[in-house]
Amino acid sequence: MKPPAQQPTLKRRLIRQLVLLQVAIQLLVIGALAASGYLIDFSSSENTVEILQEAVARDAAGKLVMRPTQRLVALRETVPHLWFSIRDHQGGQVVEGLIPPEFASIGDTLDAVRQARLGWNIGDPPRQAARMRWVDSAAGDVQILTGPDSPVTWRNLGLALLLLLVQLVLPIMAITVAATLLATHFVVKRTLAGLNAAAARAGQIDADQRGVRLPLSGVPGEIATLVGAFNDALQRLDDGHARHERFLADAAHELRTPLAILNTRLENLPDSPDRQRLLADTARLSVLAGQLLDLQRMKGNSDRRQPIDLVEMARDVVAEMAPLALAAGYEISFEPQAARVETEGDRDALVRALTNLVQNAIDHAGGQGSVVVRVDAAGNVDVIDDGPGIPAAQRAHVFKPFYRVHATGPGAGLGLSLVQEIVRLHGGEVSVHDGPEGGTLFRMRLPLHAAKRSVSSLH
């Protein structure tokens, strides 16, 4: 199954959408202001000054005159109320059109100023405005004073838009994006702090923990409903798990009495092969019921944990299982590689787990060869047999409940699953490998006791 593509985070989505929204709003506002003329006037008095600068000249007598350039002719046609006054430093002047009275008396008042815009305050009634510049022309240095703006042209429009983009739009957008990224980062981080705490708590939920709930404090209202539903689901899972655990414990406890009665009755029967097989079957059932009880007891009560010497424990299991192994046709031996290897846990449960591994070797190793139990200084407890082994494709399944490598073999397929659960509750792991000389090697890896990390080697 193809893994789903990683979804963008809520933080990234919010930042992207806020940036796009703010940029769109600013573009609309700037566009509206530009279209209304409040932001920029696309007509240009600067263009009028340039046209007059190009046309002014002197005649043979040295007087200022206007040459009928193509652009000046076009300006006169498109601006019916064109007016201007052009004068030089010697007092020469050429005038065209009706100069507004407020500008007619300026004369040489602005000679010391190279350029100026003459107009009125914002909010005053609309009036004529003027532009004054000293420019270098064919007639020399002249002062041009004019009022009417040149008509809108594509060139003017393009330059105005470019100026608007460079001087206003881009800086505002850059500031907006930077401010949004910075502000949204802290705002979203603070807003989602409760959600992040809930996610961190969810990551700590384990199958063995009960009563864990996600915190609702600081979680946004839109997410609180989901978190509440998740907590309700956890409660239902806890209730179902508790019922399941009680059922297993009660079933195992109820089985012990009839199994003990059945075993007593079988022992009173005349000796025969059938009697021996029935006794072996009842013994296996008794072991399974004991394992279930130990497992439930260990889950519900951590007070039974105590220091355990794995060497001593394994030696006791081998001694107890030796008669059964010898009767089944096996040689059984114990090979400790350290004098003492100490862990911590429930000794009865670990004895059950190791007993089950030895019983598994007796049941599936083919009825001949040897069974070796080995303990090393690293906390590994190995059970090795000379049987046919377990195919590599099936090793990942042997610890699943009710799974059996051989469908016709003994047992219900719960033994190895219980071994895995017991070892896991002790903080270790159980695995299956090829034996050193064929067969199968089951390994229980248990953590060493904190106060007993170093052990003395027998070698």
Last residue of a domain, one of 151, 173, 206: 151
> What CATH number is associated with residue 455?
3.30.565.10
Residues 6+ apart with CB under 8 A from 142: 53, 56, 64, 86, 87, 88, 134, 135
Residues 135 and 245 in one domain: no
3-state secondary structure of 101: helix
Instruction: Please tell me the total count of domains within the chain.
Output: 4
DSSP letter at 168? I
- Residues for the chain: how many in total? 459
Residues 374 and 331 in one domain: yes
Do the bridges between strand 380-385 and strand 342-345 make them parallel or antiparallel, or are there none, so unpaired? unpaired
How much is the pLDDT for 164? Answer: 60
CA dist., res. 399 & res. 419, Å (int): 8
Let me know if residue 143 belongs to a domain.
yes
Per-residue pLDDT of the chain (459 residues; tens, 9 = 90+): 444 455 556 667 677 777 777 777 777 776 766 665 555 544 455 678 888 999 999 999 999 999 999 988 888 888 888 899 999 988 899 999 888 888 877 767 778 888 888 876 655 555 677 888 999 999 999 999 987 655 545 555 555 566 666 666 677 777 777 777 776 667 666 666 776 777 777 766 766 566 677 777 766 676 778 778 888 887 888 787 777 777 766 666 677 778 778 878 888 888 888 888 887 777 777 767 766 676 666 665 555 678 999 999 999 999 999 988 888 888 999 999 998 999 998 888 899 889 989 988 888 877 788 899 999 999 999 999 988 888 887 887 787 766 665 544 555 566 788 888 888 888 899 999 988 888 889 999 999 876 454 443 443
Same domain, 244 and 360: no
Q: What is the DSSP letter of 449?
A: P
Residues 447 and 372 in one domain: yes
Residue 207 in domain: no
d(CA 341, CA 11): 52
In a domain, 204, yes or no: no
300: buried, middle or exposed (CB in 10 Å: 19+, 13-18, 0-12)? exposed
Question: Which strands sit side by side in the sheet containing 93-96, from one edge to the other?
Answer: 93-96, 84-88, 140-146, 130-137, 115-118
Residue 205 in any domain: the answer is no
Q: Is residue 162 part of a domain?
A: yes
pLDDT of residue 43: 46
My answer on whether 359 and 452 are in the same domain is yes
- Which pair of tokens denotes residue 380? 């590994």
Q: Are residues 145 and 53 in the same domain?
A: yes
Q: Quote the tokens at residue 254.
A: 């109820």
Distance CA 26, CA 81 (A): 37
In a domain, 3, yes or no: no
- The tokens describing 29, both together, are 């506002």
**Hey, what are 195's tokens?**
């959600």
Residue 169 lies inside a defined structural domain of this protein = yes
Predicted pLDDT of residue 364: 80
Q: What are 64's strand-pairing partners?
A: 58
Helix ranges (H only) for 192-220 are 193-203
Q: Supply the pLDDT for residue 29.
A: 72
In a domain, 200, yes or no: no
CB atoms within 10 A of CB 129: 16
| Domain stops at, among 258, 273, 300 | 300
- Give CA–CA dist 27/19, Å, rounded: 12
For residues 141 and 163, state if they share a domain: no
In the prediction, which pLDDT does 4 show? 46
Domain that holds residue 364: 305-459
Q: Examine the fold and report which residue of 98, 133, 151 is the final residue of a domain before the chain moves on.
A: 151
The residues facing 433 across adjacent strands are 441
Do the beta carbons of residue 417 and residue 401 sit within 8 Å?
A: yes
What is residue 41's predicted lDDT score, i.e. its pLDDT? 47
CA dihedral 237, 241, 242, 246 (to 10 degrees): 160
In this structure, the number of other CB atoms found within 10 A of the CB of residue 141 comes to: 11
Residue type at 174 in one-letter notation: A
174 backbone dihedrals φ, ψ, rounded to 5°: -65, -45
Q: Do 355 and 368 share a domain, yes or no?
A: yes
- Please check whether residues 425 and 357 belong to one and the same domain: yes
* Same domain flag for 128 and 181: no
- Answer yes or no: are the C-beta atoms of 429 and 419 closer than 8 Å: no
Decide: 306 and 347 in contact? Cβ < 8 Å: yes
Q: What is the CATH number of the domain that holds 294?
A: 1.10.287.130
State whether 227 and 174 are in the same domain.
no
Residues 273 and 293 in one domain: yes
Q: Alpha helix (H) ranges present in 347-391?
A: 347-364
